[in-house]
Every structure is written in C-alpha cells, then in structure tokens.
A and B are shown apart, each in its own frame.
Chain A
Amino acid sequence: AQKITQTQPGMFVQEKEAVTLDCTYDTSDQSYGLFWYKQPSSGEMIFLIYQGSYDEQNATEGRYSLNFQKARKSANLVISASQLGDSAMYFCAMREGGYGGSQGNLIFGKGTKLSVKP
C-alpha cells in the first residue's frame, strides 16, 4: 500500500509568491516523522524540514514551513517568497516509529516538480 502520496506531478509559481506542495501519508503508527527533501537537477537530495508526529507546532525553517494536519494525515510544504533557485523536485518522506528494523527507513513519495517563473 502506498504510504506517501504527492498528487501534484508538476507545479508552477511566480517568483516572489508563495506555493504549497501537497503530501498525504498513511501509517498506523502513533510515532513517526515527516520530512521534505529538495532535489535539484544535479541529483543530490537536500533536507529541508522535519515534523514529528507529537510536535504540536508546525515546523518552520527559513522560507519553508510545514502545514501539519494530523487528523487529515497531511504534511504540506509551504515555500514563501519563491526564488528561481527553488525550481527542483520536492519529495515528501516518512519514517515510522520504532528503533531498528525496517521501520527506521525513509519511505518517499513520487515527488512534485516545482518550476518558478520570473
């Protein structure tokens, strides 16, 4: 069963505007972590932001914020004041709870390609 769903294959945003990238997840664990990564055309994966399942506040890192709605099982990434350098693939990922075993692994969605227009 697919555990991370990103429904937007591609998105366009005007430079300096905000954009929201959608992510929904499925897990029966009470303890889990949610991550967003950026992948530029060069291929490396850049960690952006993390949200823990028990965190009461939405995570923020500079221009990135995570809109965490636990009941809806969604963890949308909001990028404020888009820049041309934000053009990239964006992946939502989840790590389920538990120490050791397969539950420690990151499970990725299929990604959203963001294009920032000047």
Chain B
Amino acid sequence: DGGITQSPKYLFRKEGQNVTLSCEQNLNHDAMYWYRQDPGQGLRLIYYSQIVNDFQKGDIAEGYSVSREKKESFPLTVTSAQKNPTAFYLCASSRQGDRAREAFFGQGTRLTVV
C-alpha cells in the first residue's frame, strides 16, 4: 500500500537533547512538508521541500532542521534551540505543480519534553 510512514508514534525528549522524527513516503511525490500542531490549534508549517536536496523554511522553522537526500525521506530534527518542542508533528507529501492535488499525511509523532 502506498502512503506516508512517520516514526516513532510517541517520542520523549530530555531538555537540551536533539531528536529526529522520521518521515518516509512511497507515493513518488516530489513535495514533502512538516507541520506542527498544538492543542486547539491548526497546523503550522515548519519546513517544506519540493525537490531532492532542496528545502525551504516555513512559518516556524526556528529550532528545527531538515534534510532531503532521497525523494522518499524527509526527516525533521528538533534541536535544543527549540524552546517549546512539545507538540504533535505531522508529515505530508503531495504531487508537485498541481494545485488540485491534496496532501497526504502520516499518522503523526507526538513529542513530549520531560
């Protein structure tokens, strides 16, 4: 089955640690995205990538980093510089250059700072 896989589902981080969230897709989509969701809030864009080896900052990129070495993979690192990392993180992908196509989402990773 084609889809997007995020792992882990739950992640706990100590203060001052970096953690990496995995996102893999087998939909052959060019574009991939990372969103953050806080309780009672909508989704806010962290980073996006429209092609391998290229990515752009979204609205709330500070304290996060990404890489796009393969078309299928778009990992997100939450660095110690992120002041309030506890949130629900969603990865998505979509076809590029076609406005009508919806984004497909993974199941999400819930990150908690302990």
Contacts and interface: CB of A to CB of B under 8 A. Distances in A.
B63 interface: no
Given A43-B107, A47-B104, A110-B40, A100 B45 contact: no
B84 interface: no
A104 B45 contact: no
A91 B56 contact: no
Contacts, number: 69
B102 A104 contact: no
B42 A91 contact: yes
A91 B100 contact: no
B90 interface: yes
Contacts of B78: none
A102 B31 contact: no
A31 B35 CA distance: 24
Interface string B49-63: 010000010100000
Contact of A91 (B33, B43, B88, B104): B43
Q: What secondary structure prevails in chain B residues at the interface with A?
A: strand
A114 B102 CA distance: 22
* Chain B contact patch, size range: 20 to 34
B27 to A, nearest CB: 13
B100 A110 contact: no
A106 B103 contact: yes
Contacts of B85: none
Interface string A27-51: 0000111010100001111010010
B42 A110 contact: yes
Interface in B97-113: 97, 99-100, 102-108, 110
B105 A97 contact: no
Contacts of B108: 43-44
17 contacts: A31-B99, A32-B99, A44-B106, A95-B99, A99-B96, A99-B97, A102-B48, A102-B56, A104-B31, A104-B94, A104-B99, A105-B45, A105-B48, A106-B43, A107-B45, A110-B42, A111-B40
Given A33-B100, A45-B90, A91-B42, 9 more contacts: A32-B99, A42-B107, A43-B88, A45-B105, A47-B102, A95-B99, A102-B56, A106-B92, A106-B103
